[in-house]
Amino acid sequence: MKIALLGFGKMGQLIEQIAQQRGHEIVLKISVDNPFDLTKENLRKADVAIDFSTPDAALQNIYACFDADVPVVVGTTGWYGKLQEVKNECDKSNSTMLYGSNFSIGVNLFFKLNKFLSKLMNDHPEYDVQLEETHHTQKLDAPSGTAITLAEGVIENLDRKNEWVNQVTDIPVEVSAKPDQVLIESNRVDHIPGTHSIVYSSEVDDIEITHTAHNRNGFALGAVISAEWLQNRNGFFNVADIFE
């Protein structure tokens, strides 16, 4: 499989290594140093594109892939406010795209565990729930896309919660969650690939589930597996579709 890498930072470089180990070829690498190489002609050299760029660049990259009729896997987060718009354009142009807030196999199992636990807690109103996410200081968006997915999983399955709010610990403005809100606390610490915790607290005890990434390898491997899965498919997909 021939792959175009849109974004060639730490994640892009790791994806290149894993893709080559799995027998794939990298035919295009786009970074801040060569944005003008993102052309229809160059994209069409690839069977699939993988985007781990920035929230600002992701939309441009997605639409460039649609225009070139090249399937695209999008691991960039921070642009989900435009998700419905992108889905509409994907359907309209008969394009192919797979996106996800986290491509790690462990995290996707964690998503399922989170939903199951949320359903159980419907019968236990004495517990309130809060999320905490910690990432490296280079992460551009807060809360993380993974934390948002987890919060949405809680809201979908826990009847007493309707929306989430975010508290960034580096910003000295305290955010108080209302009873129908899920608080996401975001921490930025050097050299932390990603840790997410969901805590249900009552007056007598806490129930906590946590996923801790030891490195970025799981994210990169999941992105390459997603690109392999996308071959010979057409439409708009979420990474969760791979695990169904």
> Is 163 strand, coil or helix?
strand
9-15's contacts with Cβ under 8 Å and 24+ in sequence apart are 9/52, 10/216, 11/52, 11/75, 11/216, 11/219, 11/220, 11/223, 12/50, 12/52, 14/216, 14/217, 14/220, 15/50, 15/52, 15/220, 15/223, 15/224
β-bridge partners, 225: none
What are the tokens at 189? 């610490």
For the question of residue 178 being annotated catalytic, the response is: no
Choose the catalytic residue: 135, 161, 196, 211: 135
Catalytic site residue from 24, 139, 196, 211: 139
- CA–CA separation, 93 vs 63, rounded Å? 10
Could you confirm whether 196 is annotated as catalytic?
no
Token code pair at residue 148? 């948002």
Q: Which of 69, 64, 97, 93 has the alpha carbon at shortest distance from 83?
A: 97
> Which amino acid belongs to residue 43?
L
CA distance 46 to 70: 7
Query: Where in the sequence numbering do the catalytic residues fall?
Result: 135, 139
